[in-house]
Amino acid sequence: MKQVSILGATGSIGDSTLKVIRNNRARYQVHSLVAHQSVEKMMQLCREFLPKYAVLENKAAAEQLRVQVKSAQLPITVLAGEAAIIELVTESEIDLVVAAIVGAKGFLSSLAAARAGKTILLANKETLVLGGALFMAEAKTHGATILPIDSEHNALFQSLPKCGNELSYEGVKRLILTASGGPFRGYDRDALKKVTLEDALKHPNWSMGAKVTIDSATLMNKGLELIEAHFLFEMPTEKLSVVVHPQSMIHSLVEYIDGSLISQMGAADMAIPIAHALAYPERTISGAQYLDLTKMQALTFEEPDLVTFPALRLAQESLEAGTPYLVALNAANEIFVEAFLAKKITFIEIADKVATVLDRVSASAHQLQTEDALLAYDQEIRQLATDLC
């Protein structure tokens, strides 16, 4: 039975991971659950899964959880703070680490898991956007296995050729990531000026957390995923592209030099890529709905609108420009999405303000080769972005 540590247990990826585990109780044991501050939901999960450890980053919330766990006489150790999370993921008895903490705050725990040589089911895209070169180098040095559970990257992983246990890129022409286009596909810039927070939180196909849902609406999510693909698959930028596929049935494609296109299809349910990674190289029940091909609507594809949705273009340009721009892109976007969620700025201002921040970055001004340097620059950019809200 595999021991699983879930970082971001109370979020949407955590929900989907636990859905798969419920369908495979004989294969997986929840070793530890990690979240930010959701005491009530964490307590519910503790009662159901009886993990060895429950960790909340917020120390006051962790103390509340500790009292409730003790009162319920559950055999669970409650820990608090980021340092506890980082130490936890190195535990020798953990087989699989689900890295699903949202945002840059998930970087250090993912990095610690890589240095501990763990098998990491990676959903935290900011780990790769903020420090992709460092993270992948550390994973290679310490023998960690990285299994992507973003639907697009998992689709690419399944569609690329294998050579033994390793991916092969023999004959690959390019990787094509699909995007739904979000709730505002077909809008122009004038129409985007009028959209509300409530409009932006209504994704047409996927059920996700607020931050990722807004990123999907701006197309920044697809930009971040493009950057992820670059680091995960060691693919040069000219071999990465995006196509809008509104039905979200084909999750990504690999184009080969002979003209073949190999893709992965499935329902818009994160349980599918998570089940694939949990069981890899085997397969297991996900609990997701099976597709009935005879009842599917037509599948359509179109080019992304980089004028109306400049966030994707900004991500592409940042990837070409290098690490300082990637750090700035991610940090600024997180701040401006938070500001939009708090109704401090408009939807259209998110990408526009990210562009303003990127204009102030100097590629030669920063040597960002360690986690300390990366995080220090991340904080510098966050302050700059906060001042623009």
Annotated binding-site members for 1-deoxy-D-xylulose 5-phosphate: 125, 151-152, 180, 203, 216, 221-222, 225
What pairs with residue 78 in β-bridges? Answer: 54
Asked whether the CA dihedral 66, 67, 68, 71 is positive or negative, the reply is positive
**Residue among 253, 251, 269 at smallest CA distance from 261:** 253
User: What contacts 81, CB < 8 A, 6 or more positions away?
Assistant: 57, 59, 62
Binding-site annotation: residue ranges for Mn(2+): 150, 152, 225
CA–CA gap between residue 229 and residue 237 (Å, rounded): 9
Return d(Cα 26, Cα 279) in angstroms, integer. Answer: 12
- What is d(CA 245, CA 266) in angstroms, rounded to the nearest whole number? 13
Q: Classify residue 295 by its DSSP letter.
A: G
Q: Please tell me whether residue 98 adopts helix, strand or coil conformation.
A: strand
**221 CA to centre of own chain:** 9
Binding residues for NADPH: 10-13, 124, 126, 209
Q: Please give the annotated binding residues, written as ranges.
A: 10-13, 124-126, 150-152, 180, 203, 209, 216, 221-222, 225
Are the CB atoms for 222 and 248 separated by under 8 Å? no
First and final CA of the chain: distance in angstroms?
Answer: 49
How far apart, in Å, are the Cα atoms of 166 and each of 36, 116, 136, 255?
35, 20, 15, 19
Residues 6+ apart with CB under 8 A from 51: 30, 31, 32, 33, 45, 76
